[in-house]
Chain A
Amino acid sequence: MDIFNLLFANNLILALTKVFFLATDLMFILFLIVVFRQVTLMQSLVKDTTDSFLLKSIIIALIIGSVSLFLTALVIL
């Protein structure tokens, strides 16, 4: 038996869930930007020519992923 059945939940709960997701995702994007900034700073300090591109690509991919999730939450949820 479902204790919390939100399949037929009222719009208020779903709207609150959406707001929660948006806020969390926004904070997460800000965190990722801080990480990106740190990676850039550290790479300016010590540059490894073999890995710097890969490390930067990964953090950019994570930022793109979180921004697309934010937009998804904004439109679909």
Chain B
Amino acid sequence: MPDIFVATDKQTVNPATTLSEPLTQEKSAHLENLNETNFPQKRTHLFSAFYKNPQGIYFKNQEKDEKILLFIRRSIITNFKWVLVSIIFLLLPLLAYLFVNFGGQIISFPTKYILFFLAFYYLLVFTYIYVNFITWYFNIAFVTNIRVVDIDFSGLIYKNIAATKLSLIQDVSLIQAGAVRTFFNYGDVFVQTAGTYTNFEFEAAPQPENAVHIIEDLIGKPNGHL
């Protein structure tokens, strides 16, 4: 008698379990599929905050067959505060000039001193812009087919680099609270690991649901539990 129902021999592929062992054919095929169909390669630009499978980005200790699948910076909108402050600082000498012309002089300096001060002032403002920009630029988190790396860089003197293998990740969650975060679609992504470094936090990550789905897919968890 022929079988009415034959269960297909489905095997869930979990690349996280393959890290210490050589990749089996099926598992490597799954990773290839993730790389090529779901993540078409794209070249990043200076203001990229969320990129799947970015091109032209390399990191220290990257293994030969290791590919960056997801690249995250804080959402570009989080720079709004310092950009506004910079614009005010850039316009301040103009306002001061108008005040001196119409409001009366308070202090007089020789012209060369004023010019020097102005040049120095603008150099400070441009440095302020640059430092804030690189603080945002180097605050990176990325997910490769082998591990998750979180680089916290703030205030030029604080640097914290943490990495964990995908096999050690236990759970991924996100918090998106507030009108601004909802409107601009960014939030905090938390990656819980079994290691001593218990929590990875991708602060103000753009498209947090997308990021969570991608990490879940990589660690072999179903996507539908959000």
Measuring CB to CB, which residues of chain A are less than 8 angstroms from any residue of chain B?
Answer: 1-7, 14, 17, 21, 24-25, 28, 31-32, 34-35, 38-39, 42, 44-51, 54-55, 58-59, 62, 65-66, 69, 72-73, 76-77
Q: Which residues of A contact B120 (CB under 8 A)?
A: 21, 24-25, 28, 69
Instruction: Given the known inter-chain contacts A21-B116, A58-B130, please indicate yes or no for A46 contacting B123, CB distance below 8 A.
Output: no
Once the chains bind, are A50 and B110 in contact (CB under 8 Å)?
Answer: no
Once the chains bind, are A72 and B116 in contact (CB under 8 Å)?
Answer: yes
Kindly list the 6 A-B residue pairs having the minimum CB-CB distance in the complex, ordered from nearest.
A49-B56, A42-B138, A4-B107, A46-B59, A5-B108, A2-B108
Stretch at the interface among B23-31, B41-49, B176-184: B41-49
In the assembly, what is the distance between CA of A73 and CA of B159, in Å? 35
Q: Which residues of B contact A54 (CB under 8 A)?
A: 46
In the assembly, what is the distance between CA of A4 and CA of B106, in Å? 7
Interface of A is mostly: helix
In the assembly, what is the distance between CA of A34 and CA of B43, in Å? 30
Once the chains bind, are A69 and B113 in contact (CB under 8 Å)?
Answer: no
In the assembly, what is the distance between CA of A77 and CA of B192, in Å? 59
Q: Which residues of B contact A65 (CB under 8 A)?
A: 119, 123
Once the chains bind, are B156 and A35 in contact (CB under 8 Å)?
Answer: yes
Q: List 10 A-B contacts (CB under 8 A).
A: A5-B107, A39-B134, A42-B134, A44-B60, A45-B60, A46-B57, A58-B130, A62-B130, A69-B119, A72-B116
Contact of B126 among A5, A14, A51, A62 (CB under 8 A): A62
Contact of B92 with A by CB under 8 A: no
In the assembly, what is the distance between CA of A66 and CA of B159, in Å? 26
In the assembly, what is the distance between CA of A2 and CA of B138, in Å? 48
Contact of B10 with A by CB under 8 A: no
B127: nearest chain-A partner, CB-CB: A62
List B residues 16-74 near A (Cβ within 8 Å): 43-46, 56-60
Instruction: Given the known inter-chain contacts A21-B120, A45-B60, A65-B123, please indicate yes or no for A76 contacting B107, CB distance below 8 A.
Output: no
Once the chains bind, are B130 and A77 in contact (CB under 8 Å)?
Answer: no
Q: Which residues of A contact B46 (CB under 8 A)?
A: 50-51, 54
Contact of B161 among A17, A28, A44, A45 (CB under 8 A): A45
Contact of B137 with A by CB under 8 A: yes
* Interchain nearest-CB distance for A66 vs B (Å): 6
* Interchain nearest-CB distance for A22 vs B (Å): 11
Contact of B151 with A by CB under 8 A: yes
Once the chains bind, are A69 and B116 in contact (CB under 8 Å)?
Answer: yes
Once the chains bind, are B116 and A73 in contact (CB under 8 Å)?
Answer: yes
Once the chains bind, are B127 and A35 in contact (CB under 8 Å)?
Answer: yes
List B residues 83-138 near A (Cβ within 8 Å): 104-110, 112-113, 116-117, 119-120, 123-124, 126-127, 130-131, 134, 137-138
